[in-house]
Amino acid sequence: MPVPLPSIAFFEPRIPENTGNAIRLSAVTGAPLRLIEPLGFELEDSKLRRAGLDYHDLANVTVHADLDALLEALPDARVYAFTARADTVYTDVAYAPGDVLLFGPEPTGLPDAVLDHPRMTAWVRIPMLPGRRSLNLSNAAAIVAYEAARQLGFSDME
């Protein structure tokens, strides 16, 4: 029986190509993709469709009206907020099915109101060279999604 992967959540994404790439990531890993409105583009945007190729029908994508709607839909989920300000490194987290990997929009990242929300389990970071502002959003999600998949035995991936 396959082990479900944590959800990848994008808080108010603004760049359609990154979301398209995340749709492809969802399709090839089985990790649900959760988009938190408002979105900086239409879901029918040609750039999003092009980046997602023909994977849209293979991905599990849910749009939530706001962060509270996501949290209400997943009342028992641990929520890991990814921020360069964190001390915990993504490889130091023991991921479980049902977790949420929450990423903020480029170029600002998650706002303080989200980071300080009482439902955040922990702040987590992906190490980078000093003086660098951020990693591409879809690349960051892929790095963490595959670490979670590795920890969970790659589920039914070949």
83-93, pLDDT tens digit by residue? Answer: 999 999 999 99
Would you state the pLDDT for residue 41?
A: 82
Kindly tell me the burial class for residue 130, based on how many C-beta atoms sit within 10 Å of its own C-beta (0-12, 13-18, 19 or more): exposed
Write down the pLDDT at residue 49. 58
Segment-wise mean pLDDT, segments of 10 residues, the chain, 158 residues = 84 92 92 95 66 68 96 97 96 97 94 97 96 90 97 80
Q: pLDDT value at position 52?
A: 46
The domains of the chain, with CATH numbers, are 7-151 (3.40.1280.10)
pTM of this prediction? 0.92
Query: What percent of the chain shows pLDDT beyond 70?
Result: 89
Separation between Cα atoms, residue 146 and residue 137, nearest integer Å: 14
In this predicted structure, what is the pLDDT of residue 48?
56
Within its chain, how far is the Cα of 89 from the centroid? 16
